[in-house]
């Protein structure tokens, strides 16, 4: 009798689930269409909210059903009932799910009756500011949307020059310079332009940019400052900094900046106590150092600075506003006469706020006359208040309202992250995909669609204004489904049955055990990001999270991944970058939906380039079964069955990124055969087992046509014949190749190459850059070319080069290099590292060095050193790197040789 009752219940639940699935799809379609119409209709907004809440509960029911079904399939329960595909673990749970289904059906019926009872006007008949664009591909009309670059902003040159003058005026002591203004007035943009100015870069020896915000923590701010200051000179960050108390951190900042001229930008200061807490850690010497703050609060700006050094951001003039608006809305072209009236009306409501003008201009780009009129009329009726900030928020909200339904969720998801948290774009894209915000498009991967989403938000300046508009809110994203945890909110406090996403920030301070990082009672979790936490062991609760799509243990101390990882049948991203994991269990091959497998790390910075700093993992047999993989990095091919591993890689035809290391000479042919099957590959990194091991890649007859980034580390008898055929190649790194002939001849005609690094790659004495070679190259690094003596340029080459790094080329003739540099008219950054004393003195501007340069060489030197804003010499001394800045000498601010070049090794 019990069995019969159970079978009836199972059969009934299955039928109800199918109905809920159908209704759920209809609701999602409704919400997408109704989203843009609800803003102007309070009644419709209530209805949409009710439907959305019901959709969330439906989603929970469907996921619970799938979870129970997976349990039964796993346990092999009820095998005698082959015709019944649905089985739940026990009768009580089945009955509970059946009750939920009954309740949700009743709610949906009630919502529908309410709609009919109160005669909601159909959203399908209501006009929308975006109505005419919905019939077309939303991203096509914005694909080339004009984004105002910082260098094109209007009304910023005069205040920038004023602030620069205040910073470099030479007054002794530590002084504070303030930029005061309301949100959206351009404070941060102005500070960035000053901070990045070549004169400021040259005058100050140390530079750091710190975002303070309302939820500041002095110790975190100072630790961030230490990391920036050390990173600027490529010195390793002191060990144990994360666990240091605040007094030790303050002392470390003082020690580093002592006797240095430094400039520190403190962006978005809300409390005077925050400024004083940071300032107390700064040494106050006679070096004319400066702190620049941006703030919305007048008493902070005036109380912390000499009143003569407070710049107040004022609204842009009508002329400046018009210029900026046209740059954004019309790509810098004149405003069409038929839109001039609407433009003036809209600009009047922006009240000279740069951020509002940029946002509304991006919204209006590519819209037709009717849409301009509707937006203008909407602004006119809504902006009756004189409160400028309220108007500003309404303007910004229009940009949000105009977004595609999926993009709204992507934008609001930024509210999950703490204020001023740096979000790596690859991580954000993978999170969007895991959360279900990215829709499928024919002929495109989900990542490619997400990249378009990101580009769209950038083009609309919405990433720039996210901090202003979100205030940590999550709207269309169900707040019960997403949880962020910080050091004040340990994950052990959570027990939410409907929790779908858990991201932990700043958790290195938590004293929780490894098990407490994963909360109990959250069976529907889809996203689990424990990156940067103090985790040491793989939490045992993770394998029971059947719905998990995204798992990140990045930069934790986890060393071993258990075989139970194979239970995560829905996992799409496994991020183990910078962990201690060196091999994966064979059960990883069960994860048929896996798309991103990231298991690699870099060794710590060292004074000279070291072969093999890129670490990978031993792949299990059967890795080729992961047919959906798009990113795989980095596989070690050095095991006894390496040929099998490399052969299996050929089965991964969807790969976009691949890293393979520990290659032997005999592996080359098999690797080439596998690469020929990867027509979608964009990024490839290969490394030999040792510096002397030859990599033979000449078997590749048809290279991946879309290859954008390529790195080859290991001995090459010659450059692969196919390398000059890579028309899409933008970044190329060659290391430890021992090439006897110059690689430049084969590379100089690559049409899109922008970055070229040669590290121990060439054994010859002369590099010649041919006429019109490297047409798009922007960055060139020549490192440890031990036999290199001459660098020559025939005619005009590298016309767009902006950065040149010469490192450890001990026999390089400075005269030939100077002639080449003279022909690089766009060069902005020139860096020499670990160069000999004679070479360094040849570039020093005193009288004794002048004797080394005569005639035309001296003319070239004067012109080059005046033109290039950043010129540095770096040397490694004991356990840290020291930088000497010749930019001071270029601008004639340092007359004493000892200050610039006190001791050349």
Q: What is the pLDDT of residues 162-184, one digit of tens each?
A: 999 999 987 888 999 999 987 77
What pLDDT does residue 799 have?
95
Give me the torsion for CA of 547, 553, 557, 561, rounded to 10°: 40
| pLDDT-derived band at 532, boundaries 50, 70, 90 | confident
The whole-angstrom separation of Cα 869 and Cα 866 is 8
Q: Which of 274, 317, 316 is nearest to 293 (CA)?
A: 274
Residue the block writes with tokens 């490529």: 234
Average of pLDDT values for 31-42? 64
Residue 530 lies in a domain: no
**Regarding beta strands 880-885 and 870-877, do their DSSP bridges make them parallel or antiparallel, or are they unpaired?**
antiparallel
Does residue 402 or residue 407 have the better pLDDT?
407
| pLDDT-derived band at 808, boundaries 50, 70, 90 | very high
Q: Is residue 389 located within the same domain as residue 447?
A: yes
Q: Is residue 192 located within the same domain as residue 247?
A: yes
Does residue 235 or residue 788 have the better pLDDT?
788
Q: Which of 438, 538, 549 is nearest to 502 (CA)?
A: 549
Distance spanning both ends of the chain, measured CA to CA: 91
What pLDDT does residue 183 have?
74
Q: Which of 502, 507, 549 is nearest to 521 (CA)?
A: 502
Q: Which of 128-132, 311-315, 377-381 has the highest mean pLDDT?
A: 311-315
Average of pLDDT values for 764-791? 96
Cβ(346)–Cβ(375) below 8 Å? yes
Residue 707 lies in a domain: no
Average of pLDDT values for 8-32? 71
The whole-angstrom separation of Cα 578 and Cα 187 is 36
The whole-angstrom separation of Cα 643 and Cα 202 is 53
Strands (E), 481-533: 482-485, 501-504, 527-529
Cβ(685)–Cβ(614) below 8 Å? yes
| pLDDT above 50: residue 296 | yes
Residue 327 lies in a domain: no
Q: Is residue 201 located within the same domain as residue 307?
A: yes
pLDDT tens string 383-405 = 544 354 455 666 566 667 777 88
Q: Is residue 56 located within the same domain as residue 200?
A: no
Q: What is the SS3 assignment for 528? A: strand
What pLDDT does residue 157 have?
87
The whole-angstrom separation of Cα 230 and Cα 208 is 10
CA distances from 65 to 14, 60, 85, 866 (A): 9, 9, 12, 71
Tokens of 823: 């022909």
- CB neighbour list of residue 794: distance below 8 Å, 6 or more residues apart: 768, 769, 770, 771
| pLDDT-derived band at 70, boundaries 50, 70, 90 | low
pLDDT tens string 466-522 = 544 443 333 344 444 566 665 444 454 455 667 888 888 765 454 455 556 777 778
| CATH number of the domain bearing residue 268 | 3.40.50.300
Q: Which of 467, 504, 503, 506 is nearest to 482 (CA)?
A: 503
Residue 680 CB neighbours (<10 A): 14
| pLDDT above 70: residue 895 | no
Among 413, 442, 470, residue at a domain's last position: 470
What pLDDT does residue 47 have?
75
Q: Is residue 272 located within the same domain as residue 375?
A: no
| pLDDT above 90: residue 202 | no
**Backbone phi and psi for residue 111, each to the nearest 5 degrees, phi listed first:** -65, -40
pLDDT tens string 691-709 = 889 999 999 989 999 999 9
| pLDDT-derived band at 286, boundaries 50, 70, 90 | confident
What pLDDT does residue 214 have?
75
Own/partner long-range contacts of 834-837 (Cβ < 8 Å, ≥24 apart)? 834/607, 834/608, 834/807, 834/808, 834/874, 834/875, 834/876, 835/806, 835/807, 835/808, 835/809, 835/810, 835/873, 836/810, 837/904, 837/905
What pLDDT does residue 221 have?
92
The whole-angstrom separation of Cα 515 and Cα 473 is 29
Q: Is residue 111 located within the same domain as residue 197?
A: no
Domain that holds residue 44: 2-126
Among 295, 312, 329, residue at a domain's last position: 312
Q: Is residue 93 located within the same domain as residue 171?
A: no
pLDDT tens string 301-335 = 888 777 679 999 888 888 888 988 898 888 878 99
What pLDDT does residue 210 have?
93
Which neighbouring-strand residues pair with 512?
Answer: none
Among 470, 504, 532, residue at a domain's last position: 470
- CB neighbour list of residue 358: distance below 8 Å, 6 or more residues apart: 148, 324, 328, 461, 464
Q: Is residue 262 located within the same domain as residue 114?
A: no
Report the number of distinct structural domains present in the chain. Answer: 3
Which neighbouring-strand residues pair with 551?
Answer: 528, 574
The whole-angstrom separation of Cα 300 and Cα 282 is 18
Strands (E), 569-645: 573-575, 596-598, 601-602, 614-615, 617-618, 631-636
Q: Which of 673, 675, 642 is nearest to 657 (CA)?
A: 675
The whole-angstrom separation of Cα 566 and Cα 563 is 6
Residue 625 lies in a domain: no
| pLDDT-derived band at 604, boundaries 50, 70, 90 | low
Tokens of 162: 């004023």
Average of pLDDT values for 249-278? 92
Q: Which of 426-440, 639-653, 769-783 has the lowest mean pLDDT?
A: 639-653
Cβ(507)–Cβ(69) below 8 Å? no
pLDDT tens string 562-597 = 999 999 999 999 999 999 999 999 999 999 999 999
- The pTM (predicted TM-score) of the whole model is 0.79
| pLDDT-derived band at 133, boundaries 50, 70, 90 | very low
The whole-angstrom separation of Cα 470 and Cα 458 is 16
Residue 98 lies in a domain: yes
| pLDDT-derived band at 81, boundaries 50, 70, 90 | very low
Residue 771 lies in a domain: no
Q: Is residue 165 located within the same domain as residue 225?
A: yes
What pLDDT does residue 642 have?
59
Residue 527 lies in a domain: no
Q: Is residue 298 located within the same domain as residue 433?
A: no
Average of pLDDT values for 261-266? 95
| pLDDT-derived band at 554, boundaries 50, 70, 90 | very high
Peptide bond into 634 cis (omega under 30): yes
What pLDDT does residue 512 have?
53
Q: Is residue 197 located within the same domain as residue 247?
A: yes
Does residue 521 or residue 738 have the better pLDDT?
738
**Backbone phi and psi for residue 586, each to the nearest 5 degrees, phi listed first:** -65, -25
What pLDDT does residue 162 have?
93
| pLDDT-derived band at 768, boundaries 50, 70, 90 | very high
Q: Is residue 77 located within the same domain as residue 180?
A: no
Residue 566 lies in a domain: no
The whole-angstrom separation of Cα 842 and Cα 845 is 8
Mean pLDDT, rounded, of the chain: 80
Average of pLDDT values for 206-224? 89
What pLDDT does residue 259 have?
85
């Amino acid at each position: 009798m019990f069995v019969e009752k159970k079978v009836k219940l199972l059969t009934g639940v299955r039928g109800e689930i199918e109905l809920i699935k159908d209704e759920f799809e209809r609701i999602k379609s409704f919400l997408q269409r109704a989203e843009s119409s609800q803003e102007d209709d309070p009644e419709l907004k209530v209805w949409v909210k009710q439907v959305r809440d019901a959709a969330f509960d439906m989603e929970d029911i469907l996921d619970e059903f799938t979870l129970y079904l997976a349990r039964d399939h796993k346990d092999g329960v009820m095998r005698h009932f082959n015709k019944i595909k649905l089985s739940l673990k026990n009768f009580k749970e089945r009955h509970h799910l059946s009750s939920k289904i009954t309740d949700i059906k009743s709610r949906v019926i009630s919502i529908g009756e309410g709609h009919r009872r109160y005669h909601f006007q159909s959203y399908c008949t209501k006009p929308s500011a975006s109505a005419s664009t919905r019939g077309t591909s939303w991203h096509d009309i914005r694909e080339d949307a004009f984004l105002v670059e910082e260098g094109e902003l209007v009304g910023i040159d005069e205040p920038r020059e004023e602030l620069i003058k205040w910073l470099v005026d030479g007054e002794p002591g530590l002084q504070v310079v303030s930029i005061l203004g309301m949100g959206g007035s351009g404070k941060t943009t102005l500070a960035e332009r000053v901070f990045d100015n070549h004169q400021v870069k040259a005058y100050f020896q140390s530079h750091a940019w710190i975002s303070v915000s309302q939820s500041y923590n002095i110790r975190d701010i100072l630790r961030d400052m230490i990391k920036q200051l050390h990173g600027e000179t490529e010195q390793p960050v002191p060990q144990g900094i994360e666990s240091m108390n605040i007094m030790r951190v303050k002392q470390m900042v003082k020690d580093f900046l002592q006797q240095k001229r430094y400039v520190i930008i403190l962006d978005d200061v809300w409390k005077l106590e925050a400024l004083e807490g940071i300032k107390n850690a700064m040494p106050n010497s006679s070096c004319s150092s400066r702190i620049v703050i941006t703030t919305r609060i007048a008493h902070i700006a005036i109380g912390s600075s000499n009143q003569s050094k407070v710049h107040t951001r004022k609204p842009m003039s009508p002329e400046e506003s018009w210029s900026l608006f046209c740059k954004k809305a019309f790509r810098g072209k004149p405003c069409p006469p038929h839109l001039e009236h609407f433009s003036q009306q809209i600009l009047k409501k922006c009240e000279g706020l740069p951020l509002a003008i940029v946002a509304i201009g991006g919204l209006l780009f590519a819209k037709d006359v009717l849409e301009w009129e509707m937006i203008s009329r909407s602004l006119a009726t809504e902006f009756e208040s004189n409160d400028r900030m309220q108007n500003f928020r309404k303007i910004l909200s229009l940009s949000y309202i105009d977004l595609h339904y999926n993009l709204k969720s992507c934008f609001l998801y930024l509210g999950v992250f703490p204020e001023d948290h740096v979000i790596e774009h690859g991580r954000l894209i993978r999170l969007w995909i895991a959360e279900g915000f990215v829709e499928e498009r024919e002929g495109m991967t989900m990542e490619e669609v997400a990249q378009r989403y990101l580009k769209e938000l950038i083009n609309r300046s919405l990433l720039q204004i996210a901090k202003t508009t979100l205030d940590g809110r999550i709207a269309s994203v169900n707040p019960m489904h997403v949880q962020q945890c910080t050091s004040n909110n340990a994950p052990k406090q959570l027990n939410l049955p409907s929790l779908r996403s858990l991201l932990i920030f700043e958790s290195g301070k938590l004293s929780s055990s490894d098990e407490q990082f994963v909360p109990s009672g959250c069976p529907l979790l889809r996203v689990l990001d424990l990156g940067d936490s103090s985790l040491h062991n793989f939490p045992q609760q993770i394998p029971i999270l059947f719905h998990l799509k995204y798992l990140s243990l990045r930069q934790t101390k986890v060393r071993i991944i258990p075989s139970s990882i194979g239970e995560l049948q829905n996992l799409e991203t496994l991020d183990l970058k910078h962990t201690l994991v060196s091999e994966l269990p064979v059960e990883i091959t069960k994860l048929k939906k896996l798309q991103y497998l990231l298991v690699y790390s870099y060794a710590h910075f060292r004074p000279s380039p070291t072969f093999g700093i890129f670490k990978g993992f031993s792949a299990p047999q059967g890795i080729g079964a992961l047919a959906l993989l798009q990113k795989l990095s980095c596989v070690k091919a050095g095991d006894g069955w390496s040929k099998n591993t490399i052969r299996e890689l050929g089965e991964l035809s969807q790969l976009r990124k691949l890293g393979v290391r520990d290659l032997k000479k005999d592996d080359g042919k098999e690797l080439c055969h596998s690469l020929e099957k990867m027509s979608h590959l964009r990024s490839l990194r290969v490394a030999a087992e040792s510096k002397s091991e030859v990599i033979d890649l000449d078997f590749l007859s048809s290279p991946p046509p879309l290859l954008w980034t390529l790195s080859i580390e290991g001995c090459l008898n010659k450059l692969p014949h196919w390398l000059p055929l890579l028309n899409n190649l933008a970044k190329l790194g060659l290391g430890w190749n021992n090439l006897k002939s110059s690689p430049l001849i084969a590379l100089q005609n690559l049409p899109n190459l922008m970055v070229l690094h040669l590290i121990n790659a060439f054994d010859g004495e002369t590099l010649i850059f041919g006429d019109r070679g490297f047409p798009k190259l922007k960055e060139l690094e020549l490192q440890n070319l031990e036999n290199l003596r001459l660098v020559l340029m025939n005619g005009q080459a590298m016309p767009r080069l902006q950065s040149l790094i010469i490192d450890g080329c001990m026999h390089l003739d400075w005269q030939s290099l100077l002639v080449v540099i003279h022909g690089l008219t766009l060069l902005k950054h020139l860096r020499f590292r670990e160069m000999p004393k004679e070479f360094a003195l040849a570039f020093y501007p005193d009288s004794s060095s002048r004797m080394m340069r005569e005639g035309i060489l001296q003319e070239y030197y004067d012109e080059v050193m005046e033109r290039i804003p950043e010129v540095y010499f770096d040397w490694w001394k004991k356990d840290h790197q020291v930088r000497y800045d010749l930019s001071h000498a270029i601008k004639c601010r340092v007359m004493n040789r000892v200050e610039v070049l006190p001791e050349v090794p």
